[in-house]
């Protein structure tokens, strides 16, 4: 017999309760980070849009910041929702 056959009902309930709590936090974390990434994509796109109304070096700088923010947000979404296959 393995060690898991010797667990009491209370121990099993405690383990299940702990795992349900852990999974709940994980799902909540994914939702929060997804919403944050969505908002930052919008902020990055707006920075790119603002760059079209600026002149000179400021326009280039704001456009680069916008592109970096959008890229970082898309990569965060990728890592959150498409896990690597091993």
Looking at the domain assignment, is residue 86 inside a domain?
no
Looking at the domain assignment, is residue 68 inside a domain?
yes
Mean pLDDT within 69-85:
88
> How is residue 46 written in tokens?
């707006």
**Domain range for residue 74?**
9-81
Looking at the domain assignment, is residue 63 inside a domain?
yes
- Total number of domains in the chain: 1
Looking at the domain assignment, is residue 51 inside a domain?
yes
pLDDT reading at 15 higher than 70: yes
Residue positions counted in the chain: 86
Q: What is the pLDDT of residue 34?
A: 93
pLDDT > 70: percent of the chain: 91
pLDDT reading at 77 higher than 60: yes
User: Of 39, 47, 23, whose CA–CA distance to 77 is shortest?
Assistant: 39
**Phi and psi for 54 in degrees, rounded to 5?**
-100, 170
Looking at the domain assignment, is residue 28 inside a domain?
yes
pLDDT reading at 3 higher than 70: no
CA distance linking residue 81 with residue 77, whole number of Å: 6
């Amino acid at each position: 017999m393995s060690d898991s056959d010797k667990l009491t009902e209370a121990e099993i309930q405690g383990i299940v309760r702990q795992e349900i709590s852990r999974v709940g936090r994980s799902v909540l974390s994914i939702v929060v980070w997804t919403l944050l990434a969505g908002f930052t994509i919008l902020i990055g796109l707006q920075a790119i849009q603002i760059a079209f109304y600026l002149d000179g070096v400021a326009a280039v700088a704001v456009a680069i910041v916008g592109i970096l923010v959008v890229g970082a947000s898309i990569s965060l979404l990728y890592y959150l929702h498409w896990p690597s296959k091993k």
